[in-house]
Chain A
Amino acid sequence: MIESIGWGLVFVGIGFIAAGSVGLVRLPDLYCRLHALTKADNLGLGCICSGLALLFGQWIIAIKLLLIWLLVLLTSAAVAHFIARHVLDKERRK
């Protein structure tokens, strides 16, 4: 039971990441792309991490996975912010 939930979460996560990647290619401008990439990827990674935690079933691994997810959350949010701000500055100057 737990195993199938774990695998389910992993596949849902893969789906989110795939959707984010499609968005990166298809969406019209930079802000939309950033939005698709960060939001979908963070969610997808969260699903994958929790799925893997269930599959391993050990607390120590679950904590490590949680830490990884939080770090990626922090950096991707910050990086998206920097990119967006940089582009905004450039557009304003024009």
Chain B
Amino acid sequence: MNMLLWNLFDCVLALLALVLGWRVVSSHDLKRAVVLFIAFGLLMSLIWARLAAPDLALAEAAIGAGLTGALLLSALRQQPASSESPVRSLMDVYGSLVLVLVLGGVMAWALFAAPGMVQGSSSNNPIYLQLEQSGVSNPVTAVLLNFRAYDTLLEIAVLFCVAIGVLAFGRERQHVMPAGPLLGVLMRVLVPLLVVMSSYLLWVGAHAPGGAFQAGAVLAAAGILLHLGGMPTLGMPGPLNLRWLLIAGLACFLLVGLATMLNGASFLTYPQAWTSVLILLIETGAVLSIAATLVLAYRGGGAPLDQPQGEGSHEERL
């Protein structure tokens, strides 16, 4: 009975995700598609929680639904009112439809029908077996910052690349909405709360769901809120300091990695006694860079270098 209920719940969630995804893709109205996409992100977050992936649930809610949604909505604001729909031939539509359906069918057959698909027991999973040596007790953080830290290094490099891209091609947007009194109240309550929560997520990531990415996304939300509330200089430091924030994550990562090589070990082999501290150091740098990059992307670009510098920033105060 219990099992049946779970299956029913699973089917409802999975179908809902599929239908929402289809509506996002097939919607002709971009505004509707973006709003549906945000809802889709929240649904995915629910699914991650169901599938015993709380780290992902947090990250999806903050990054997937929250910040991607914010980026898309702000991009939408400048979309021309009526975008002409290009004329497509039936051949185009059905050609690619048939193609992807065949692809899906073949993949489903290979994954689920033909012999295959091995799900090992987690009791002999090397990640759990070696968790004690990793310096943290949250297995996802252990993979991200110790076992497969090199992946994360390259990922932070991807983020850095996009930050330079935004600096190169974007111009800072002036916000149009006048900040009402309520927004001020909301800001005064939420911004400190978000900053505290971000530090908490960063700290707790070592032994419970959380970590640098979630923390960075939450901090970025604080910066975006300040921007919306008409205080862009408070949310973001001046262009010079901004550069330091953008490089913080990758710099910490690389310097730690190269420093560990000094005593002959391979790249990113932390000395046993220092593991937790080094991981926290790298994560702190990553939080600053992630937050700065995402706020920068939301604002649509950096202020030109000659502009007077803003005073303090939350990122700096952290």
Contacts and interface: CB of A to CB of B under 8 A. Distances in A.
SS class of chain B's interface: helix, strand, loop or mixed? helix
A27 to B, nearest CB: 18
Nearest to B181: A81
A68 B258 CA distance: 43
Nearest to A86: B177
Contacts of B129: none
A2 B35 CA distance: 40
Contacts of A81: 180, 182
B98 interface: no
Interface in A52-91: 71, 74-75, 78, 81-82, 85-86
Contacts of B189: 74
A85 B180 contact: yes
Interface string A26-64: 000000000000000000000000000000000000000
Contacts of B180: 81-82, 85
B186 interface: yes
Interface string B188-221: 0110010000000000000000000000000000
B227 to A, nearest CB: 15
Nearest to A78: B186
A19 B182 CA distance: 28
Contacts of A85: 180
A3 B177 CA distance: 48
B183 interface: yes
A25 B193 CA distance: 34
Contacts of A86: 177
Contacts, number: 17
B58 to A, nearest CB: 14
A75 to B, nearest CB: 8
| A78, A81, A86 — most chain B CB neighbours (10 Å) | A78
Contacts of B193: 71
Nearest to B193: A71
A5 to B, nearest CB: 23
Interface in B154-198: 177, 180, 182-183, 185-186, 189-190, 193
A75 B186 CA distance: 8
A30 B189 CA distance: 27
Contacts of B182: 78, 81-82
Interface in A9-30: none
A10 B189 CA distance: 29
A7 B177 CA distance: 44
Nearest to B185: A78
A85 B181 CA distance: 12
A9 B53 CA distance: 28
Contacts of B190: 74-75
A39 B186 CA distance: 19
A71 to B, nearest CB: 8
A74 B177 CA distance: 20
Interface of B: 177, 180, 182-183, 185-186, 189-190, 193
12 contacts: A71-B193, A74-B186, A74-B190, A75-B186, A78-B182, A78-B185, A78-B186, A81-B180, A81-B182, A82-B180, A82-B183, A86-B177
Given A81-B182, A86-B177, 10 more contacts: A71-B193, A75-B186, A75-B190, A78-B182, A78-B183, A78-B185, A78-B186, A81-B180, A82-B180, A82-B183
